[in-house]
Structure 1
Amino acid sequence: MTRYRLQTSPDKAALAHAAAAAMAAVIRNAATRQPRCVMALAGGSTPEAAYGHLGQEDLPWERVELVLGDERWVDVQDPASNARMVRHRLLSGSRAHRARLHPVATHLPNPEAAARAYGDLLQTLCPGQPPRLDLALLGLGDDGHTASLFPGTAAVNVEDEWVTVGLGKGLPRVSMTAPLLSAARQVIILVAGAAKRQALERLLDPQEDPARTPAKLVAPKGEVLVLCDEAAVSVG
């Protein structure tokens, strides 16, 4: 059974600082034992705010490899692109500019080709079966999805690939699969806002069906750190 450790911040601003501190700790710890740190980043407004703080940290950024937990099938300059957001919020004009971002190749002919290429890239960056990320930073949708593993879609059932094609909110997406995310040395899930209360309750419920809440499919051997704000925590 997956173990969740809940850490609550007073509000979204404090949550962003807590998330940045947790990511910085992963980088520092990785630097003591290996040549590089491979981190899978999430999209969304809460991670975006955290990246702004993280980029100011004095860290061995030249040894950090950044990948994306998922990406919408859009041009890299599209406002909906996670790669674009990471470049603007984390890498531009900050100490983190020395880190290397590996975007999903959305210039390829189709999402399937991009998923295969991204799986090959991950196998090169962090060899293993599955590849072992140092960090998987994830969000939690109000429908229980994480990365682009949406309820009722084929992506949630993929167990023989590290990257697959998902469909969410009308857009094709390239997404890491549950087995890959579960193999990460550290999994952190960010949850903010009252709209996420029910999804967070379901995530923490041992009886919850992962088919309804795919975030539960991310089940590492160690604990999952859940960073949330007070608005996301149910009262009463």
Structure 2
Amino acid sequence: MYTINEFESRAKLDQALTDQVAEILVSAVKLKGKASIAVSGGSTPKGFFTALSNMDLPWKQITVTLADERWVDITDDASNTKLVHENLLQNKALDANFFHIKQGDELTVEVLSDLNLAAGTTVLPFDVLILGMGEDGHTASLFPCSNEIHSALSRDAAPLLKVVPQTAPHERITFSYAYLAQSQNTFLHICGDSKKEVLEKALADSDTTQMPIRAFLHHESLATQVYWAE
């Protein structure tokens, strides 16, 4: 299931999303003593990251992580970890915790095993999940072009998986659909006319292996909130 929320500008979208996410995180901390949020990379969320970083939240009880990451050095411009540290873990959010899903030089079976164990005790299930969407309908690093797409979409998958896309650079690590879908609150944050066209294509069919974002939009009980601005 999905709900589409359209905004007149990206600034208004960023503020609305910030207010909604802040309220959820505060409520989670009050209820459980902690909260977790998984975010995505790209240029689209930068304004949201900055706005959220300036919110007066119980950041010491909040853990931030990534829905997926390229297996590159965290100083590389392609690193989502670098993006989050430069744009979200700033200002008042300097006190937040960060769960690294890119650890070490090689993405080995042993590294994955350790990360899966740590994720289960640290961030899962997410209180908030912010997804993006590519022109091919991929989300996180659930790529339709990858050999791992069926296992990544399986409800029996481990929390974190290695993915090697055929049409995009870099080896990836990603949370699987099964664990992304367990988030208490899921948002799809997209901007621009081209992404709206991709969204409309995704809504017109249900084949998740062709467009993995459909797994969230057409889920029978997962309520995905789509936030879009031109």
In structure 2, distance between residues paired with 1:144 and 1:123: 27
Q: Which residue of 1 aligns with 2:172?
A: 173
Report the secondary structure of 1:171's partner residue: coil
| Change beyond 3 A, Cα 1:199–1:111 | farther
Q: Which amino acid aligns with 1:227?
A: Y
In structure 1, distance between residues paired with 2:16 and 2:42: 16
Q: Which residue of 1 aligns with 2:113?
A: 116
Contact 1:73–1:111 at 8 Å: present in 2 too? no
Q: Which residue of 2 aligns with 1:143?
A: 136
Counting aligned pairs with the same residue, the percent is 26
TM-score normalized by structure 2? 0.90
Q: Which amino acid aligns with 2:147?
A: A
User: Does 1:185 find its partner at 2:184?
Assistant: yes
In structure 2, distance between residues paired with 1:156 and 1:83: 23
Contact 1:4–1:223 at 8 Å: present in 2 too? yes
Q: Which amino acid aligns with 1:170?
A: P
Greater shift, 211-220 or 97-106, is seen at 211-220
Deviation at 1:142, TM superposition (A): 1.2
Contact 2:139–2:213 at 8 Å: present in 1 too? yes
Deviation at 1:67, TM superposition (A): 1.2
4+ runs deviating over 6 angstroms: none
Contact 2:63–2:98 at 8 Å: present in 1 too? yes
CA-to-aligned-CA distance 1:103-151 (integer Å, 9 cap, x gap): 223424225544333222211115xxxx421111100111100000011
> How many residue pairs end up in the alignment?
222
In structure 1, distance between residues paired with 2:80 and 2:18: 17
TM-score normalized by structure 1? 0.87
In structure 2, distance between residues paired with 1:38 and 1:5: 23
Report the secondary structure of 1:39's partner residue: strand
In structure 1, distance between residues paired with 2:108 and 2:198: 28
Contact 1:90–1:96 at 8 Å: present in 2 too? yes
The unaligned stretches of length 5 or more in structure 2 are: none
1:97-108 equivalences under 5 Å are 97-108=94-105
In structure 2, distance between residues paired with 1:51 and 1:76: 18
The unaligned stretches of length 5 or more in structure 1 are: 232-236
In structure 2, distance between residues paired with 1:51 and 1:114: 28
Coordinate RMSD, CA, aligned = 1.7
Report the secondary structure of 2:149's partner residue: helix
